[in-house]
Amino acid sequence: MQYIFRQTTYNSLLTLGGFVFGALNTLVFFVQFLDVTSYGIIAFLLASSTLISPILSGGVQQTLIKYLGRDSSKENDKIYKILLQYYTLYLILLGLVFYLGQGAFKSLIGVTTKELEELSVFIWVLGFAMAVFEICFAISKIHLKTIFGTFLKELFVRLGISLLLLTHLYVNFSLATIIVIICIIYVLRVFLMLVYFQKMKIKIRFAKGWIPFKNDILRYSLLVIFGAFSTVVFLELDKFMIGRYLEVGQVAVYAVGVYIATVIAIPYRSMQHITNTVTVDYLKHKNEKDLYDFTKNSSFHLFLVSGFIFFVLLTNMPLISSFLPQAYEGLYFVVLLIGFTRLLEAIIGIGNAVLIFSNSYTSFLIGALLFGILGVYLNVSIIPVYGINGAALATTLTLLGFFTFKLVLLWNKHRIHPFSLNLFKSIAVLFMLTAVFSLSLFNALDLWSGLLKLTAQTAIFLLICYKLKWISSLKDVLNSLRAR
């Protein structure tokens, strides 16, 4: 477990580094070096590619993790070959379907600019590169070699785009050239993963001859396709729909607001590597009491940290907006709503892992699919009326409903919930702090006054946490995780 924890520590640092470069790209380079329409086109292409990547992956990545171990048994080898054989056939059939349905696809992605329609071929290139990388990353996870894969997933692409945009500042690339180079970065990521496999002697074993498919494996793969697609819908559908119904430049404006709010999810993503491992261990050994306590503790501590970030963002939005170009003004409502959904994710804590890795997975996927359909309906209904604020509202309503569904499912299937007295206390404290620091009396007018305000906010928050013994509680949880 110490080996896993060491990898998790590196993975968390790489994830944090990815957020830093992502923030640099989203809030500085893209908005300063590109016009809002060009950035909107790039954001739309990336969102559309992310939407189709679960379909292009065929559910293979999660199926590999579920059914394969690290040993080299004949049964393992057989499953490996079945999946790769299935994936090859799946891609052929999928390619045939898309080739015959080109007209329907073009109609589906119909947008308000002809330039974007001409560049739509890159959606497939990016989507396929994303899908293949996730399959390769899953193989590395099976062998417990995740650090390089995490570097490629979280940092490599963002670092490459940073260098691309800095070069663009001096060379002045065309939009088509920038998109081609972004595609090359994603394809290069797959190539580097395959080179890494060679170095680590991880073999990808294709079948010699035809091996009959196993129904349970194929059924699980299909469930993963629907589940992964539904999950991605929650994250990327709004950008895709904005590109369909509004000027494509609004995709860029919305993407900036979403990224600001996504900073709230850093604690959840950083802890996910550890908490998932511990959750699976509890489920495997049917340790219900510890799982119940761990659910409540993780929920409280994740919300405490994420809630503080949310509080800082909301009370400093006027200052943050002042550093952005005028085209990106008016993002407070987007950050408020999307940030709220990230807090719901923190509150559910390890509940997502419990539902995904337990026998309630099928019910979870059905719910995800139904709420994904609801998300499509709400986006179609609200965006044409309320614009990007409508997209944020549609996403929030969808995720609030899905959050409620997950709470009910957790209680019905496992008799656990994330709520505790400390959680409600922290909600009350952060609500009061947000109300106080939102007063015009505490407005920060420049960077130095903003840093002073942030210092005061942090000091007051830490003092409250110390008085309520929340800091020592957080240390105890981290130490217990490390000890595992």
pLDDT digits (tens, 9 = 90+) for 342-358: 999 889 888 887 887 77
pLDDT of residue 189: 94
Closest among 102, 61, 41, 84 to 227, alpha carbons compared = 61
Verdict on whether the full-model pTM lies above 0.95: no
Q: Range with the lowest mean pLDDT among 52-56, 66-70, 293-297, 309-313?
A: 66-70
- Separation CA 80–CA 394 (nearest Å): 40
The larger pLDDT score, comparing residue 182 to residue 68, is at 182
Q: What is the mean pLDDT of the chain?
A: 80
- Separation CA 233–CA 372 (nearest Å): 6
pLDDT level of residue 51 (50, 70, 90 thresholds)? confident
Integer angstrom CA distances of residue 310 from 71, 185, 304, 338, 448? 44, 32, 10, 10, 21
pLDDT of residue 187: 94
pLDDT of residue 393: 94
pLDDT surpasses 70 at 481: no
- Which of 10-14, 58-62, 419-423 tops mean pLDDT? 419-423
pLDDT of residue 474: 57
pLDDT of residue 1: 45
Q: What is the DSSP letter of 209?
A: S
pLDDT of residue 167: 93
Contact yes or no for 314/339 (Cβ under 8 A): yes
pLDDT of residue 108: 54
pLDDT of residue 94: 74
Q: Range with the lowest mean pLDDT among 35-44, 82-91, 404-413?
A: 82-91
pLDDT digits (tens, 9 = 90+) for 159-177: 999 999 999 988 888 888 9
The larger pLDDT score, comparing residue 401 to residue 67, is at 401
* Strand, helix or coil for residue 188: helix
Q: What are 384's two structure tokens?
A: 């044409």
The larger pLDDT score, comparing residue 172 to residue 64, is at 172
| Long-range contacts at 17-26 (CB < 8 A, ≥ 24 apart) | 17/154, 17/155, 18/153, 18/154, 18/155, 18/158, 19/263, 19/266, 21/155, 21/158, 21/159, 21/162, 22/158, 22/259, 23/259, 23/263, 24/162, 25/158, 25/161, 25/162, 25/165, 26/255, 26/256, 26/259
pLDDT surpasses 60 at 484: no
